[in-house]
Amino acid sequence: ESRQRTDSFIEITIEDTTGCPRYSARVIRNVKIGASPGWLVKRLESVGIRSINNVVDITNYVLMETGHPLHAFDLDLIAGSGIIVRAAREGETFVTLDNKERQLREGTVLICDAEKPVAIGGIMGGLNSEVHVDTRHILLESAYFNPESIQLSSRYLGLSTEASQRFERGADPNGTIYALNRASELIGELCSGEICQGVVDVYPKKISEKTVLLETDRINSLLGTSLNQEEMTEILESIDLTVQNQVVTIPTFRPDISVVADLAEEVARLYGLDNIPARQTFEVDYRVRMNEYDMFIDQLKEILSGMGLQEVITSSMINSRKWKEIIGTPVCKIMNPISKDLDGLRRSLITSLAEVVQYNINRKSGNLKLFETNRIFIPTENKNEQPLEDLRLIISLTGMREEDIWYSSRQKVDFYDIKGIVEAFCRKISLDNWQFISYSDSDFLQENGLLLQSGNTEIGTLGQLSQKICEALEIEQDIYIADLSVKKLFENRKIDKKYRPIPRFPSVERDLALIVDADLESEKLLSTIYQKGGKLLHQVDIFDIYQGKQIPEGKKSLAFRLIFQAMDRTLTEDEVNVLMDKIYLTVNKRFQAKLRA
């Protein structure tokens, strides 16, 4: 090494620590660019790499030797003596070494100097910093890039290189310095370069070694062997894996080992496939043990089918531009879509089901009662992360309530039909402590919707499909939608059911007609009636809602049927009258409700 220090020539800043967790560099001065020696050219050609010049050939040689990609920049073409690692901005372009201008994906890792990008991190360098015959000073890069980020960017660009193939499969984050020093040594020998003292190494958060549990029985089951723990430990430790207390520590240079099956593969390889006895028969359990969550999903489908609804299954891919314009919120883009019309992932099942309704209405089939359970995809702020997935249940009603035959009522479905289905559905699955509250904050529903809650947990929404979506799809009839979270339904259902015997004693029915404010929610009245009716109030139903003649303006009439019943006796008139008086006095005081004459 020379007396000059690397950090006196270059400074490194990592802004995108997710895409580039580590960046190391050295400076080599006064190099002589020329042809590589014959032995180096032959070795590279033997693995299918053509010779370019001695510096580039050395980086490729070290790549093949260590498995870690490197890149050499012309230091004189780096403006400001600084390297900045950042994420590409939307719409940004860059000219790569192959002299092609490429449109970059937002979030692609870019290596920049003080003025401009000089390389696409982990994929390909730039034409504006290429090592050429007149280059005298080299900045040698040895970095570690996030495999997922490299994979997404490489596929988006349609650009697969030796470097990107290594990084997207996982390189060694703790091997950057070794590869850097090895290449620097060769450049000093073959290019007469002066290696500056020290390394500039930015490594904000050290990547630690992974651990995998050594499951001896599982490995023997996979391989058909009968090795004990000591034999497996000996085999694994022979390839620098540390085994202690049945826990295998995986060094960072083995990113291909992450689960028990990977350990089994190493054991089989080193133990010898010829030493594993062949078996004529093997026991396979064909019984599929469904978990409780899958059984619950089947239960949902069975309940809704029993209510007369038809299940549909739609594609998760939608037209991203079309739906962004309709609902005003972005959807998750697909990197390599099968067509421009299917280039996004839906963020709601409503988008897919609305198109199903449109398709059927356009073919004169407008009386629809549909449901679907499927996944939605919510994009995250970090473009390098996968979208959040959620399993949803959607119910859709439109058209006539009954088929158009001679004895049908010929009434169209309305808000109370979808509400009634959700109420019956909640009772069927024993949803705990559920209630409806007014809700208007939805991109898909009109303002007079409802929010379904279980305790303080929001389960989903229901209401009429927004006029904006209907107009965009040219749908002229009303569509009513319920959009619910399957996971929250599952988590908030009552698991323990209590048996209650059929009552031996008769019930007592009373009707209560109240005049209240037109904007008062009936749920508040129902809740109060149940509260004051106590344990003897068995059931309350609304059987009439009226506004018109004999009802003051701004008021409405609600008629309730109350059923009282005791398990141990026949209720007397006096007992029921006391409860009815208590209920009326409370609703009169709390809501200014009046008895309807």
Residue 294: pLDDT over 80: yes
Distance CA 246, CA 363 (A): 64
pLDDT in tens, 14-34: 999 999 999 999 999 999 999
Contact 108, 85 (CB under 8 A): no
- Report the C-alpha gap between 210 and 232 in whole angstroms: 18
Model confidence at 283: pLDDT above 80: no
What CA–CA distance (Å, rounded) separates 488 from 454?
9
Cα 30–chain centre separation: 51
Express each pLDDT in 116-144 by its tens digit. Answer: 999 999 999 999 899 999 999 999 999 99
Maximum alpha-carbon separation in the chain: 112
d(CA 332, CA 467): 24
Nearest to 472 by CA among 448, 493, 444, 509: 444
Q: How far apart are CA 283 and CA 265, in angstroms?
A: 21
Question: Is-contact 193 136, C-beta < 8 A?
Answer: no
Quick one: fold of 6-202? Phenylalanyl-tRNA Synthetase; Chain B, domain 3 (3.50.40)
CA angle 166, 256, 241 (to 5 degrees): 125
- 453-505 pLDDT, tens digit per residue, is 998 899 999 999 888 888 888 888 999 999 999 999 999 988 777 777 888 99
Query: What kind of architecture, by CATH, is found in domain 210-275?
Result: 2-Layer Sandwich (3.30)
Identify the band that residue 329 occupies on the pLDDT scale cut at 50, 70 and 90: confident
Predicted model pTM: 0.56
Q: Which residues contact 285 (CB under 8 A, 6 or more apart)?
A: none
Structure tokens at 206: 């050290």
The rounded mean pLDDT for the chain is 89
pLDDT reported for residue 277: 82
Q: Measuring CA to CA, which residue among 164, 173, 144 is closest to residue 85? A: 144
Alpha carbons 522 and 516: distance in angstroms, whole number: 10
Res 444 pLDDT > 90: no
Whole-Å CA distances, 590 to 520, 523, 552, 558: 11, 14, 19, 16
On the question of pLDDT at 41 being above 90, the answer is yes
162-166, 313-317, 496-500, 583-587: least confidently modelled range: 496-500
Q: What angle do CA 60, 200, 140 make, to 5 degrees?
A: 25
Residue 581: pLDDT band with limits 50, 70, 90: very high
The Cα–Cα gap between 566 and 560 comes to: 20
pLDDT at 386: 84
Q: Are 31 and 184 in contact (CB under 8 A)?
A: no
Sign of CA dihedral 114, 120, 124, 128: negative
Minimal CA–CA distance to 180: which of 170, 192, 195?
Answer: 195
Residue 597, amino acid:
A
* Mean pLDDT score, 83-111: 91
- Residue 439 confidence class, pLDDT cut points 50, 70, 90: confident
Average pLDDT of the residues in 507-522 = 91
Write down the CATH number for the domain with range 292-491: 3.30.930.10
Edge to edge, what strands does the sheet with 210-213 contain? 210-213, 247-250, 242-244
pLDDT for 195 beyond 90: yes
Domain 508-595: CATH architecture, name and number where available:
2-Layer Sandwich (3.30)
Question: What six digits make up the tokens of 557?
Answer: 């009439």
462 touches 418 (CB < 8 A):
yes
Which is more confidently placed, 284 or 522?
Answer: 522
Query: H/E element holding 102?
Result: strand 101-103
Among 194, 252, 249, 207, which Cα is nearest to 9's?
Answer: 194
pLDDT at 409 over 90: no
For residue 274, give the amino acid letter. D
Confidence label for 596 from pLDDT (cuts 50, 70 and 90): confident
**Residue 303 reports pLDDT greater than 80:** yes
pLDDT of residue 442: 77
Specify the pLDDT at position 562.
94
Please state the domain extents for the chain.
Answer: 6-202, 210-275, 292-491, 508-595
Res 370: pLDDT: 94
Reported as half-sphere exposure (CB side, CA atoms, 13 A), residue 340 has a value of 1
Q: Are 581 and 588 in contact (CB under 8 A)?
A: no
Q: What's the distance, Cα to Cα, between the start and end of the chain in Å?
A: 104
Label residue 247 by pLDDT band (50, 70, 90): very high
* 284, 314, 579 from 588: Cα distances, Å: 69, 50, 14
Encoded amino acid at 171, one letter: A
Q: What is the pLDDT of residue 65?
A: 92
- Sheet of 317-318: strand order equals 317-318, 344-345, 332-333
Confidence at residue 29, expressed as pLDDT on a 0 to 100 scale? 92
Band the pLDDT of 584: cuts 50, 70, 90: very high
What is the per-residue pLDDT across 347-367, written as a single tens digit (0 to 9) for each? 889 888 999 999 999 998 889
The answer to whether residue 287 scores a pLDDT higher than 80 is no
Tell me what pLDDT residue 340 has: 80
**For residue 288, is pLDDT > 80?**
no
Distance CA 578, CA 102 (A): 82
Of 1-5, 174-178, 196-200, 528-532, minimum mean pLDDT range? 1-5
